[in-house]
Structure 1
Amino acid sequence: MNRTRIVIATVAALVVVAVVGGLVWWQTGDDEVRQAGSCDGASYTLESDREDDTTEVSFEVQAGEPGQTWDVRIEHAGETLVEGSRTTDEDAEIDVDAYLPQDATGEVTATATEGDRTCTATLSAG
């Protein structure tokens, strides 16, 4: 009887792992592109994620301290989507989003500059 319970518990655990793993794979799929790196004491992540009828582009910079002002620009195929200054929050982060049509192709480039520090990331939108 104990052996049967162990087998049933093991099978149930495997089913849960398979279902959760499948959902995570299904949610991220091939529609998400990501580039991450570091630059002059900061780190960055640039992501594009296709959802419904749009592609969301998200650029996050983790800087050294809260209250820093960064000049940020996100461009797609030579067109400026977002441009302006952002101040790092209490977690020393800035997060900037832009949106493209779902069928957009070409490169997305995001640049953040603070003083003489510059973080630049590029990825394919399509």
Structure 2
Amino acid sequence: MKKYILDLPEFILVALSAYWFLENYIGTNHFNPYAFIVFAMLLLQIYFKNKYVGFLLAWFISLFSLYMVLAVISEFRDFPTLISEGALKLLAFGLGFCFLAMGSAVLMFYKYFPKVFPARF
């Protein structure tokens, strides 16, 4: 049971990256190579479970999530009225997406940090 719970962050991030890729590909008919690379790397990480790649992915995704929180807040401030339906939808969905990715990255840190930096005591 613990094995499946520890794999949950990768599956959540695969779902988020698949949404990101498909939203760009189907929604705007644009192939986003960054979304595809993140999706492919996460699928390979689930299969191979490399501790260094997992740690680096967690680091990269947490930094990207932090950047996206700032981008959502910046976009939110561009609305003429802050209490409009579109502004609140942007804030709820954007911050929810970013915090879900950040939480998954933190759980990946929890999973891979002891493997990458074992205690030497």
TM-score band w.r.t. shorter chain: under 0.3
TM-score normalized by the length of structure 2: 0.27
Task: Name the structure where strand makes up a greater proportion of residues.
Answer: 1
TM-score normalized by the length of structure 1: 0.27
Task: Name the structure where helix makes up a greater proportion of residues.
Answer: 2
